[in-house]
Structure 1
Amino acid sequence: MKDQVHHSAAAGYKTAADTYIKGRPDYPPQVGEWLTRTLGLDGHKTVIDLGAGTGKFTGRLVATGAQVIAVEPVAQMLEKLADTWPDVLAVSGTASDLPLPDASVDAVVCAQAFHWFASREALDEIARVLKPGGKLGLIWNLRDTQVSWVPKLDAIVNALEGDTPRYYTGAWRKAFPHPAFGALQVQQFHHGHTGSPEDVIFNRVRSTSFIAALPQAQRAKIDEQIRGLIAEEPELQGRDVVTVPYETAAFVVVKGG
């Protein structure tokens, strides 16, 4: 199974689980309605949290009343999830090797994850475990590049991505259309991640897989670049609390739809 996990995820998330928890933003309130109305989750449904990581999105699924099965291949992330959500069934697995029977779940949700495994093979496997009419939800939190300083921060990060799959490249869309699913439908929401610069900027960047996997000296250089950006930006300089603007993109496709 390790061979199915991209090297950036395997190396970076192995060491960055704690930083991931501190640095990653929550999701906007509208996501609750998206889960219940668009994905149809309630106390009678079963949902897979696929690529669940440390469980950052798991609580949103639990709140719907649905039975949640968290699937994650990186052991260190799965351990954090199990500690946070002891009542959730947490299992080791990948998108192309789900440890579940055919037609056994009502929905699969990939939060901040689908770009890692976007392929025909993964969609075949997701379709296998979904019931007829079941739904696949894909959701990402993205820094809002309409705010002037955000592209400058993104440039620092993106310069180091190498061959790491990323949402913004759009490469994940090549997995669609898929014969088992209908057309992608999207909703977008806006929100902010407010806190200390250490958490909402530095730890967010440090939790990026390919940055977490770098040697310490290179990570220190990135910190220096970010400090320089903060010092130059009026919206950031000298502030103990800042807000990083986000937009959330939420997609759904229906099996047989």
Structure 2
Amino acid sequence: MDQDDRLLHRSSFGAAAAAYAEHRPDYAQAAVRWALESAPGPRVLDLGAGTGKLTATLVAMGADVVAVEPDPAMLTELRRALPAVRALPGSAEAIPLPDGSIDAVLAGNAMHWFDMAVAGPEIARVLTPAGILAGLWNVMDDRVGWVAGLARVSGSAAVGPRDVPTSWRTETAGMHLPKTGAARFGSPEQAEFPHGQRRTADALVATLATRAGMLVMPGREREATLGRIRAYLASRPETADGEFTLPMLTCVLRVRRL
């Protein structure tokens, strides 16, 4: 994806902020605990916080959380859902916090949008020594037959390379910060944790419609893609009637500031 496409995709979510808040899943608590297990303190920044899906999990776990989000519509949804959380406008490339004020920086389904050449030093600036940077991604478990079929039918706009486990490992393996400059980061670690989301066929279609590739797709093509997904879900006994659990993993990439 070139820089212009990247900017288009990452700025697309605001138009669907309410749907994002309603339909995107939370994060497995075991994954969040692993991300934070060696952090030097309780102060956590949810960076690129969106509508607060990861923020809410952190709050439920008792972390001292501040959220930073660049999109005004997404930030409005976050503040509505979590009015007690300190939520600030800002980005990974310009974090509105003092030097050394954070023990862990977490990013839920967001790190792939960061310009790490700029965000890397900025994240290092706000982290304490030995602080943690962790990206978390909710991916569909395509080891399950009907989920693999859904990924094939949906196409890369709805189910991209970071949305299934095998390609997630490859796509994120080099996403750690470069070991250059005054602040250095250690070697990356990856881990995966079982998760799931209760859905109906309509709700799952609505979830996939909030993916960036779908949001920027021309209207006629988007409706055709969603129609194929609806038809596939209607054809499968696992998803044709009532509620079901979408098998997922919360996958984590973690590095430590040295």
TM tier, smaller: 0.7 to 0.9
Equivalent residue number for residue 249 of structure 2: 247
Q: How does 1:217-228 map to 2 (within 5 A)?
A: 217-228=220-231
What code does the residue aligned with 2:254 have? V
Deviation at 1:242, TM superposition (A): 1.6
Structure 1 unaligned blocks of 5 or more: none
User: What is aligned with 1:30?
Assistant: 30
Cα displacement string for residues 74-96 of structure 1 (whole angstroms, at most 9, x for unaligned residues): 11101000111111111111111
CA distance in 1: counterparts of 2:177 and 2:199, whole angstroms: 39
Taking a change above 3 Å as real, the CA distance of residues 78 and 4 of structure 1, as seen in their structure-2 partners, is farther
Size of the aligned set, in residue pairs, is 246
Q: Which residues of 2 match residues 85-124 of structure 1 at below 5 A? A: 85-117=82-114, 119-124=116-121
Q: How does 1:12-27 map to 2 (within 5 A)?
A: 13-27=13-27
Letter of the aligned partner of 2:201 in structure 1?
Answer: P
Q: For 1:149, what is the secondary structure of its paired residue?
A: helix
Match of 2:234 in 1: 231
3-state secondary structure, aligned to 1:57: helix
* Contact preservation (8 Å) 1:28, 1:191: yes
Deviation by residue 1:176-226 (Cα, 9 ceiling, x = unmatched) = 352211111222111221132221x11111110121233433332122101
Corresponding residue number in structure 1 for 2:152: 155
| Residues 119 and 32 (structure 1), Cα distance of their counterparts in 2 relative to 1, 3 Å cut | closer
Identity %: 34
**Which shifted more, 48-57 or 220-229?**
220-229
The alpha-carbon deviation at position 107 of structure 1 amounts to 0.9
Counterpart amino acid of residue 193 in structure 1: Q
Q: What pairs up with 1:54-69 in 2 under 5 angstroms?
A: 54-69=51-66
RMSD, aligned α-carbons = 2.4
> What SS does the corresponding residue of 1:194 show, helix, strand or coil?
strand
| Structure 2: tracts of 5 or more residues without a match | none
Between stretches 214-223 and 64-73, larger displacement belongs to 214-223
d(CA) in 2 for partners of 1:151, 1:68: 36
User: In structure 2, how many angstroms separate the alpha carbons of the residues matched to 1:166 and 1:143?
Assistant: 9
* Cα pair 1:39 1:252 within 8 Å, conserved: no
Secondary structure of the 1:219 match is helix
TM-score, length of structure 2 as denominator length: 0.85
Matched AA of 1:236: T
- Would the alpha carbon gap of residues 154 and 39 (structure 1) be closer, same or farther in structure 2, given more than 3 Å must change? farther
